[in-house]
Amino acid sequence: MHLSYKGEKLENEYVRSLLSILLSSELVSERDKEFFRKGFENYLLGENLAAEDIYYRVLTILGEEVADWDFVDTEGKLDVSKRTVLPHRLLLDRVRSPFNIGAIFRSAESLGVEHIYLREGCGDISSPRCLRTARGALDVVPHSFVSSLDEIDGPFFALELGGKSLPDFNFPSSGVCVIGSEETGVSPDALRLCSDRVSIPQLGAKGSLNVSVATGILLYSWSIS
């Protein structure tokens, strides 16, 4: 940004007036005020990406969600008609964390999951953490709560340690993948229903992946199988 160009003085004054408003706001912490001082200074020096940093920090302070590129209907909800639904279902077997459940729903929506069963003992899907992470997917992906495994028709397979390596696994064209809890994995009674189990090979020192991350990897592999 060249400050000597005609008319840019007014633009700079306008930008500085916005900074003044932010610095005088009671909603803005001292830490954020320092962030805005540096951000506006960088913007005035020609770093246009600083404007994006400022924009997203303001959204965070206001408690607003960042806009994305979802397909939405006339009511602003995710447009169900845009989904390609595959005969793939998930059974969440006592997945405890609302954050992980929300993340699984979001991946499931993106990767064509037909239905999600939530077994008793799963975390609260009405939790703000779940709703925030799911980003509307709970309204789109059909789901139900089950107290007995007899309520679900198979075939079943499990995402679990000690199974066939993901690249070599023959996914069923339709069926239910059982996702176990973060601490203990798939319950023994659910594992007995599974004709097979699949594992994700890892290259690091950690013994396992976050359950929502692992589910996303599996769902992608299943969707292209």
pTM, two decimal places: 0.75
Q: Is 172 part of any domain?
A: yes
Asked if 101 and 134 sit in the same domain, the reply is yes
Rounded to whole angstroms, how far apart are CA atoms 54 and 218? 37
Per-residue CA distances from 86 to 53, 103, 154, 185 (Å): 38, 19, 15, 25
Does 67 map to a domain?
Answer: no
Structure token digits, residue 42: 């960088």
Contact (Cβ atoms closer than 8 angstroms) between residue 155 and residue 175? yes
Q: Mark whether 44 and 111 lie in a shared domain.
A: no
The number of folded domains in the chain is: 2
From first to last of the 225 residues of the chain, give the pLDDT tens digit: 333 334 444 478 888 888 898 999 888 999 999 999 999 998 888 887 888 888 888 888 887 666 567 888 888 788 899 999 999 999 999 999 999 999 999 999 999 999 999 999 999 999 999 999 999 999 999 999 999 999 999 999 999 999 999 999 999 999 999 999 988 999 999 999 999 999 999 999 988 899 999 999 999 999 999
> Could you tell me the CATH number of the domain that includes residue 175?
3.40.1280.10
Same domain for 47 and 117, yes or no, is no
Amino acid at 224: I
- Given a contact cutoff of 8 angstroms between Cβ atoms, the answer to whether 51 and 59 are in contact is no
50 and 126 belong to one structural domain: no
Quickly list H helices, 77-178. 98-110, 128-134
- Helix, strand or coil for residue 197? strand
Regarding whether 193 and 102 lie in a shared domain, the answer is yes
94 and 54, same structural domain?
A: no
Residue 1 lies in a domain: no
Query: Do 162 and 194 sit in the same domain of this protein?
Result: yes
Residue 136 lies in a domain: yes
| Same-domain check for residues 46 and 142 | no
Residue 92 lies in a domain: yes
* Same domain? 94 vs 201: yes
Measure Cα distances from 222 to 68, 90, 91, 210 in Å.
26, 12, 15, 18
Q: Looking at the structure, do residues 146 and 208 belong to the same domain, yes or no?
A: yes
Q: Which domain holds residue 16?
A: 8-62
Calpha distance 217→105 (Å, rounded): 13
Same-domain check for residues 46 and 155: no
